[in-house]
Structure 1
């Protein structure tokens, strides 16, 4: 492969991520931004450094700039991961001789406990949704499904009508790396989904110029996007008069935390969340331990 310009090299790398690595569109977009940010750093300094001449010293200068601009460790780690992968690709394609990023250590991630809703807060979000309109019925089905299945927002927006089996209460989910898994769906979510499919989705679908099989539709009848889901959740929290911040991942954290609090084993929760290994799921055990200590302190007479 002949990669003569930086633009061609970046384009080839992003195609490689999509086709060979089967990375999600979210990952590809973020990697593209991270690489562009690295190039912009040198451009702002008035330097036009060829990629095969980038050195360890150059990278340290870039990291120092990130630190001065107070980038979070997680953001720095992701940028390094994107750039290291990019240079590995360039080395594989013989566009550069060496990968200077192999000498750079990745900062340790900050151990932040996931934010989640307590049961009464989650109930307030659900009960505050107006169920008298087509969009309200859709919104209730979205929140109930996120809470019932613990799926990611990218997984939610990728669901088709055929992926949902109301009869046996299961959902086929396409996760990271296009790995598929079946997840059970609780009775409350099934009721909300059935109501949406029967009395709301047909009305929304009729507004579209072209029909599609996506489960969740926007007000024009087109596929609902990640951004659309976030708007739905923000409105639900405002209607519930909660001060907490919300995102699809907060509901995912809530699902995992409530499952473990009620006695589910870690391996089961790992499978339901679609995590590759237990390490990504174990952070929720810290939350449940904190919850146990709180209950103990509030309940034991000699705590």
Structure 2
């Protein structure tokens, strides 16, 4: 169903919107869900026959399946992009997604670690082992620069600028940004690269990637997830944490320390400041505690 248009949409996302492979797959998965819905009701409409009522029935179907509101919102966003593409290509004249609204989402506050817990994670790594030196550098860079896990695995030697204490990061949609890197993270990177990495046999094509596995290839995302989970178990931290927790903690600690929200937005690579504003919840909680504890009318 509509395979040639879906193929064209894939090319549009990759070439014109410069989205990553993961993002493109997510968009195509959203369209596939709509295809599955029409198949379930034995209906095979042409694209220009799909109505707003059809799409509202599809969203109700998703809800009946028990799909989370956040996932429904993502599917709706994907379909909006698809029909926008079809309008641009003059495949359809009217956009049936135009008046479809995503379900209202309750904003889930991210888990964070305090500085003691972060130090516990780093201290739990055995630096006497080659992978230990690498892992300490990984945690320091994740927390010290607020990187996404993919940004870390894609980090390259050619994007390190230690003289000015900055790194160049390739974020979502291949957007580049410069992020400051602290002296502690730089020191551990230097130790790893000059005492461990320099002695490794590096697989062809991986020469520029900083973090390598024992086979000399670029480290995978799942390796970083497993590392963080293992350290949480070792240190007895009961929170549900992942590499992204260190990014959340980076942002939260900056905001708590009085950092400008726009500066934090720039360092995180958020396209919208409303995404960054979620980290101000810590300050609000603290202020609420102060009022409760010290105000005579509280």
The answer to whether TM tops 0.5 is yes
- Superposition misfits of 4+ residues, deviation over 6 angstroms: none
SS at match of 1:285: helix
TM-score (norm 1): 0.90
Residue 279 of structure 2 corresponds to which residue in structure 1?
284
Residue 104 of structure 2 corresponds to which residue in structure 1?
108
Q: Which runs of 5+ in 2 are unaligned?
A: none
Q: In the alignment, does 2:194 pair up with 1:214?
A: no
Distance change in 2, residues 1:254/1:42 (3 Å): same
Residue 240 of structure 1 corresponds to which residue in structure 2?
235
Residue 115 of structure 2 corresponds to which residue in structure 1?
119
Residue 89 of structure 1, CA deviation: 0.9
CA deviation profile, 1:268-292 (whole Å, cap 9, x unmatched): 2112112223222111112222134
- Quick one: distance in 1 between partners of 2:291 and 2:267? 29
Q: For this pair of structures, how many residues does the alignment match?
A: 297
Indicate which of 134, 138, 147 corresponds to 1:138. 134
- Quick one: distance in 2 between partners of 1:64 and 1:177? 31
Q: In the alignment, does 2:7 pair up with 1:11?
A: yes
Indicate which of 150, 158, 173 corresponds to 2:146. 150
Residue 181 of structure 1 corresponds to which residue in structure 2?
177
Q: Is the 8 A contact 2:133 2:192 kept in 1?
A: yes
Indicate which of 184, 195, 200 corresponds to 1:199. 195
Structure 1 stretch 77-86 or stretch 149-158: which is displaced more?
A: 149-158
Distance change in 2, residues 1:122/1:301 (3 Å): farther
- Quick one: distance in 1 between partners of 2:283 and 2:53? 44
CA deviation profile, 1:159-204 (whole Å, cap 9, x unmatched): 1111112333211112223222211111221121111111222344
Indicate which of 72, 76, 85 corresponds to 2:72. 76
Structure 1 stretch 5-14 or stretch 185-194: which is displaced more?
A: 5-14
Residue 28 of structure 1 corresponds to which residue in structure 2?
24
Residue 146 of structure 1, CA deviation: 0.7
Structure 1 stretch 139-148 or stretch 113-122: which is displaced more?
A: 113-122
Q: Is the 8 A contact 1:146 1:248 kept in 2?
A: yes
SS at match of 1:126: helix
Residue 52 of structure 1 corresponds to which residue in structure 2?
48
Residue 149 of structure 1, CA deviation: 0.6
CA deviation profile, 1:119-155 (whole Å, cap 9, x unmatched): 2211111111222222222221111101001111222
SS at match of 2:97: helix
- Quick one: distance in 2 between partners of 1:8 and 1:163? 39
Residue 95 of structure 1, CA deviation: 2.3
Q: CA RMSD in A?
A: 2.2
Q: Which runs of 5+ in 1 are unaligned?
A: none
Residue 258 of structure 1 corresponds to which residue in structure 2?
253
- Quick one: distance in 1 between partners of 2:210 and 2:7? 32
SS at match of 1:22: coil
- Quick one: distance in 2 between partners of 1:291 and 1:150? 23
Q: Is the 8 A contact 2:111 2:239 kept in 1?
A: no
